[in-house]
Amino acid sequence: MKTSKYFAFFYLSMGFLPILFFLLLISAFYSYMYFKELLILIGLDLLVFSILGGLEIYKRSDKVKTNKLVKNYLSNVKNDGYNIVIAGFDIKSKEIKQKQYKVNINKYTSVLDAILDVKKAQDNTIALRYSCRMGICGSCGMVINGKPSLACETNFIKVAKNNVVTVEPMQAHPIVKDLVTDFKDFFDKHSSVEPHLIRENTKEQMTGKTPYDQKPDDTNKFLPYSYCIMCGLCNDACPVVNSNPEFLGPQALSQAYRYQMDSRDQSKDRLTAIDKLTGLWGCEFAGACSKACPKGVDPASAIQLLKMVSISDDLKGKNDGEKNEV
Amino acid sequence: MQLLKYDVIILGSGIGGFTTAIHSSNLNKKAKIAIISKLHAMRSHSVSAEGGISGVLYPEINKDSEKLHAYDTIKGSDYLSDQDAVELLVKNAPKEIVFFEHLGVPWNRDQKGIIQERPFGGMSIPRTAFAADKTGFFMMRSLYDQVQSLPNVDIFHENFATKILRTKDAVGVFIIDLATGKHKVIYGSSLVIATGGFSRVYKITTTSHSTTGDGIALAYNAGASLKDVEFVQFHPTALVPNGILITEAARGEGGYLLNKDNERFMKRYASSKMELAPRDIISRAIITEINEGRGMKDPSSGLEYVYLDLRHLGKEIINKKLPMIKEICIKTIGLNPEEEPIPVRPAAHFTMGGINTDIDGRVLDIELNHINNLWAVGECGCVSVHGANRLGSNSLSQCSVWGRVVGKEVSKNTHDIKHDDLKELEKLAEEEELRLNVLFDKKGMYTAYELEDEMREVMEKHFYVYRNEKEMKKGLDILEKLLKKSTNLRIQDKSNIFNTNLRDTLEFINQIELAHAVAVAALNRKESRGAHSRTDYPKRDDRVWLKHTILAKDGSGIKINYSDVKITKWKPEERKY
């Protein structure tokens, strides 16, 4: 309990540092450009958001029930061998219920292996998603001992606390059953940011015989952001997604950035569509998304860079979204 | 029960399914297209493809040619591939690599921006384009993302198909919506099956949990014939103990295979190609080494293995070209391939056989007649480009090439469904609903999980890299018993919401039928060819067995027929590397 509170305070104070730095940069930039109102607006915006964000993390740290439950639980449990606690959503009572199972574990067993063994041998009804078991399909995202993770690449023994591992469904998506959550909204947000190459000549795109021009340096601009497996863990970790369901979230925004930065892309509307408070300006830079991503995508940085691109395009008059609205 | 009308129905959302959808959508903007996936559509097993996609990109620079690619493929197939299909593959494959570039795949390029190609097993010249070792993943993401831009394509995530419904002019699929348990019938004028292979019938496999061959079993039950299912590819380098794929590109980039005595043993089996011999030959070599006592043993799983050594490649090549391999080794077995050799052994990887199709992907029955309105694309279909053994990186090109071929075909096959056909479909759907209800309520003796484990043990033990009459007969006996037991199942989960117990049971019923078909076909083929290697018939026998095995359902039994191998330019010769 206490540690998680400290963690939140730490975040709260740490959260200010990059923001101050960001503010400094932007203020220098804008004072140069004589955009005083905008400077105050953005400054206030970031200030309010960072405070809200910190508060939200603080609230959430209080809400992370599992840790508390696990601790209470551990004091009551006799530790003979390894156990898994599945805190799944019970469809009859419509609440999270915990069930404990004994599992046979060796040094290679992943958390997914352990759950599937339980499903096969002890309780056939457990519902979860899984497929490739090698960390590339993105099915088995869940919260393992309080941390959003992929079950297939989490080693059981490594994460076990007192020989117990607790798994629960992600919290930012509506829960369907046991460990299964509803991804519809998540997919809709992804598809709303034009997540594909836009070409003026679509016929050439489908049937052309020569590759588009791209150098390794161009590729490297978007490559780190193209590893997204759509597992949903970043959105689960994001404090803003958890408090404001309208927010597009780190997954969709990082993918907007991925395609925006591709030198082969010719989109004109992608940035306009996400240039809003529930879009890229909704990010409070808590950084939880980047910490949660199992594939090393850094959505937090993608969103900040996207903000830069959007502002500089605005100044250059490239992004005429705002003007159209006015 | 909900009835939904579409023009083109695509069952399966891997690379084959998605390319079919994209091309048919582009060619016929009025056609309504449905993609049905039992997973979230972007999570299909194609994401696990690692090494790359084959295609002759630079004939003028490296003296490669379509002819050479065709020859390599045919020789790799042990002369069982249909050569007209291979010629179509090699002709169109380069175009498909460019197509994926146009969709956004970040192919590895050199400083000038030229798409790089890497060496692969059985290919005489480097001709495998790649995006690090996540090629399939990048292709899948680009396809899924591209489909988001198509207004006439609907994706049905997590809908499990249980039966193909056929009438004279219409075709439909009976599906269970996993989220709600509700039944639906999606019907229309064309059905494309693109559901992948069935390597999960084996205990240790490189493929994902979902690779259960459902579409093949559905087609088999709907009157389609199966072709060459005895040929199951065992990938030589699957990680011990979990079976995760360590890509052939690891050897393409220069990795060594070592036995207990630190010897590069491939020199005794394929002296010219060494570690880049075709997969069947390396798998046999590894098993021979293990059988002769030159393997090592993992104490926790009891599995024997040899080493794949990448240490001499250096950090830069591993990080740049094989990053996922490194990640997988570290995360799943706690081993860093930069510092230690990787324990590997052969595991089921690809099913060369599948739904019998002609060169246009149209599904055939046992008499080799077209089945109306039905196509198959990708690993689930057997268009016979891989014959008795597939060369690495030819599968991705196969999926994309035939995705385009079939996409074009189905975009033309859109017609209205007559009232009579619809009535008949409804009647068939009611029968299927009844079957499912009986299965759901039945208080049977067994759970699918216990029988599934037994089936996998049997396949692993009796139908592995080396086969013989005695072992296979024993295996077939057990499989037949399991097939009977599969009518006596119980489902513990009685809820409608996300019932994975019901899904697993239906998947098992599909798998046991396919495992049985593999056993029958393997026992029937009395020769050694490609991946089908018999110790009691160690030689290839072109006089009798240069033909495809065709199977069809006959009541509860299986009918066997044969069809000719199409030979255009390359006469069968001895296969040596």
Taking CA–CA distances from B493, the nearest residue in chain A reads: A125
Residue corresponding to tokens 């978007």 = A222
Q: Does residue A156 fall inside a structural domain?
A: yes
Sequence-ordered alpha helix ranges (H) in A150-293: 156-159, 184-191, 202-207, 216-222, 233-237, 239-243, 249-260, 270-274, 288-292
Cα–Cα distances in Å, from B458 out to B245, B290, B452, B515, B530? 22, 20, 10, 10, 21
Q: Which of A125, A176, A181 to mutate to test the interface with B (most CBs of B within 10 A)?
A: A125
Q: What is the pLDDT of residue A322?
A: 43
Inter-chain CB proximity B208 and A133 less than 8 Å: yes
Which of A12, A39, A63 lies at the terminal end of a domain, its last residue? A63
Shortest CA distance to A296 belongs to which of A224, A196, A246, A242? A224
Q: The domain B236-348: what is its CATH number?
A: 3.90.700.10
| Domain termination residue (choose one: A63, A84, A113) | A63
How many separate domains does chain A show?
3
User: pLDDT band at A37, cuts 50/70/90?
Assistant: low
Mean pLDDT of chain A, nearest integer = 85
Specify the pLDDT at position A323: 37
Cβ within 8 Å of A, B 286-325: 300-301, 324
CATH-assigned architecture of domain B429-564:
Up-down Bundle (1.20)
Are residues A49 and A87 located together in one domain of the fold? Answer: no
Number of inter-chain CB pairs under 8 A, A vs B: 171
The reply to whether A234 and A115 lie within a common domain is no
A210 is a domain residue:
no
Q: Which residue of A has its CA nearest to B44?
A: A137
pLDDT value at residue A45: 67
E strands in B388-477: 466-467
Span B242-288, pLDDT tens digits: 999 999 999 999 999 999 999 999 999 999 999 999 999 999 999 99
- Please give the pLDDT value at position A75: 46
Burial B68-102 (b: 16+ CB within 10 A, else e): bbbbbbbbbbbbbbbbbbbbbbbebbbbbbbbbbb
> B328, A134: Cβ pair inside 8 Å?
yes
ipTM: 0.96
Number of other residues whose CB lies within 10 A of the CB of residue A28:
11
Give the count of beta carbons closer than 10 Å to the beta carbon of residue A174.
15
Instruction: Note whether A273 and A229 are same-domain residues.
Output: yes
The token pair at B390 is 């597939």
Whether B102 sits inside 8 A of A206 (CB atoms) is: yes
Judgement on whether residues A190 and A303 belong to the same structural domain of the protein: yes
**Does residue A192 sit in the same domain as residue A167?**
no
Q: Which residues of A touch B331 (CB under 8 A)?
A: 135, 153, 155
Q: Does any CB of chain A come closer than 8 Å to the CB of residue B183? A: no
Q: What residue spans define the domains of chain B? A: 236-348, 429-564
**Residue A74 has what pLDDT?**
46
- Domain assignment present for residue A267? The answer is yes
Q: Å from A115 to nearest chain B CA?
A: 13
User: Is 70 exceeded by the pLDDT of residue B27?
Assistant: yes
- Specify whether B251 is catalytic: yes
> Which domain covers residue A18, as residue numbers?
2-63
Query: In this structure, are A222 and A317 located in the same domain?
Result: yes
CB B78 within 8 A of CB B388: yes
* C-alpha–C-alpha distance, residues B467 and A192, integer Å: 53
Identical fold between B236-348 and B429-564:
no
With a cut of 70, say whether residue B301 has pLDDT above it.
yes
Q: Within a domain: residue A147? A: yes
Separation between Cα atoms, residue B210 and residue B486, nearest integer Å: 19
Chain B, residues 145-174, CB within 8 A of chain A, namely 145-146, 148-149, 157
- In sequence order, what are the residues at sequence separation of 6 or more whose Cβ sits closer than 8 angstroms to the Cβ of residue B481? none
Of the candidate ranges A194-203, A241-250, A314-323, B78-87, the one whose mean pLDDT is the lowest: A314-323
Residue pair A169/A143 in contact (Cβ under 8 Å)? The answer is yes
Reply yes or no on whether B235 is catalytic: yes
Q: pLDDT for A126-174, tens place per residue? A: 999 999 999 999 999 999 999 999 999 999 999 999 999 999 999 889 9
- Look at residue A19 in the predicted model and tell me its pLDDT: 74
Angle at which helices A299-315 and A249-260 pack, to 10 degrees? 60
Q: Do A196 and A177 belong to one domain?
A: no
User: Which contacts qualify for B64-68: CB closer than 8 Å, 24 or more apart?
Assistant: B64/B125, B64/B127, B66/B90, B66/B91, B68/B124, B68/B125
**For residue A137, which residues of chain B lie inside 8 Å, CB to CB?**
39, 43-45, 47-48, 208
Query: What are the pLDDT digits (tens) for A57-71?
Result: 665 544 444 444 444
Tell me which of A49-53, A145-149, B104-108 is least confident.
A49-53
Residues A315 and A299 in one domain: yes
- Domain shared by A167 and A235, yes or no: no
Tokens standing for residue B103 = 């969709």
CA-CA distance, A43 to A26, in Å (whole number)? Answer: 9
Predicted pLDDT of residue A313: 75
Q: What is the mean pLDDT of the segment spanning A283-310?
A: 95
Residues A191 and A171 in one domain: no
What is the pTM for the complete model shown? 0.91
Residue A206 belongs to some domain of the structure: no
Structure tokens at A225: 């952001």
Could you say which DSSP state residue B104 is in?
Answer: T
Nearest by CB to A206, from B26, B137, B492: name it. B26
Amino acid at B108: N
Contact A195 B148 (CB under 8 A): yes
Å from B146 to nearest chain A CA?
A: 6
CA distances from A264 to A217, A223, A239, A256, B48 (A): 13, 13, 33, 14, 26
Does one domain contain both A115 and A231? Answer: no
Give the distance from CA A326 to its chain's centroid. Answer: 33
Look at residue B420 and tell me whether its pLDDT is greater than 60. yes
Judged by a CB distance cut-off of 8 A, whether residue B47 touches chain A is yes
How high is the pLDDT of residue A35? 55
> Quick check: helix, strand or coil at residue A225?
helix
Residue B30 has pLDDT above 50, yes or no: yes
Model confidence at B108: pLDDT above 70? yes
Report the residue from A128, A135, A205 with minimal CB separation from B102: A205
Which of A187, A208, A264 is facing B104, going by the closest CB pair? A264
User: What is the average per-residue pLDDT within A12-41?
Assistant: 67
Q: Which residues numbered 238-267 in B keep a CB inside 8 Å of some CB on A?
A: 241-242, 244-245
The reply to whether A189 and A168 lie within a common domain is no
**Is pLDDT of B392 > 70?**
yes
Convert the pLDDT of each residue in B193-230 to its tens digit: 999 999 999 999 999 999 999 999 999 999 999 999 99
Of B45, B101, B142, nearest to A132 by CB-CB distance is B45
Quote the CA–CA distance of B312 and A105 in Å, as a whole number: 34
Among the partner-chain residues A176, A195, A199, the one whose CB lies closest to the CB of B179 is: A176
